[in-house]
């Protein structure tokens, strides 16, 4: 079996608005699990995070629905942000959701619920307010040197990432 060369490539940049819609789907799955304690819902939640960490949207059913159906159908604008912080955030979600699966299977349902609730809170912040906790942590890790600058050059240059410096530059250039 031959694996496509780009299968395990995470997109960079990422459409922030699509990421927020995916986060809304994660909220729905998290709430669904907290209400039903369904292994199937929990499995879908965990699979989605692992798939997005490994392949970006390629193998994630939720990301495929958002990117192939919702974004084009509703003409969702593209707002590009660096990919590495988003991948890091998906990694945190993967760790928490896989931990929730392990806790659930081991009979520690309250622990599974706490982990899924944490995922739900983070996804709510992302989807409703556009605040990515994982991206914020990634930036702090870069600031203290635990994540090398080479991992995300765009994260270091606010003008490339659409930050405040770019707006100031635009004003000073008369745009």
SS3 state of residue 15: strand
| Structure-block tokens of residue 160 | 């490339």
Asked if 120 and 26 count as a contact pair (C-beta separation under 8 A), the reply is: yes
pLDDT-based confidence at residue 158 (cuts at 50, 70, 90): very low
Structural domains in the chain (count): 1
Strands (E) located in 48-128: 80-81
170 inside domain: no
Task: List CB contacts of 39: < 8 A, sequence separation 6 or more.
Answer: 104, 105
**Is 151 inside any structural domain?**
no
Q: For position 65, what pLDDT does the model report? A: 95
Half-sphere CA count of 68, side-chain side, radius 13 A: 9
Q: Would you state the pLDDT for residue 4? A: 65
pLDDT reading at 153 higher than 60: yes
- The answer to the question of residue 102 being in a domain is yes
Residue 28 in domain: yes
Q: Token pair of 162, please?
A: 């659409």
Inside any domain, residue 119? yes
Within-domain flag for 9: no
Containing structural domain, residue 97: 14-131
User: Is 67 inside a domain boundary?
Assistant: yes
> Does the residue 71 lie in any domain?
yes
Quote the pLDDT of residue 172: 33
């Amino acid at each position: 079996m031959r694996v496509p060369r780009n299968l395990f490539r995470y997109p960079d940049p990422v459409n922030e608005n699509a990421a927020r819609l995916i986060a809304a789907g994660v909220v729905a799955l998290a709430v669904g699990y907290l209400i039903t304690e369904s292994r199937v819902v929990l499995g879908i939640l965990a699979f989605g995070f692992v798939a997005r960490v490994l392949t970006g949207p390629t193998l994630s059913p939720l990301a495929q629905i958002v990117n192939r159906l919702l974004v084009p159908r509703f003409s969702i604008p593209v707002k590009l942000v660096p990919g590495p912080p988003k991948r890091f955030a998906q990694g945190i979600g993967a760790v928490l959701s896989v931990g929730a699966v392990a806790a659930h299977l081991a009979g520690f349902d309250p622990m599974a619920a706490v982990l899924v609730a944490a995922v739900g809170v983070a996804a709510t912040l992302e989807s409703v307010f556009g605040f990515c906790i994982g991206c914020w942590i990634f930036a702090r890790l870069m600031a203290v040197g635990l994540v090398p600058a080479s991992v995300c050059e765009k994260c270091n240059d606010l003008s490339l990432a659409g930050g405040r410096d770019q707006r100031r530059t635009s004003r000073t250039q008369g745009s």
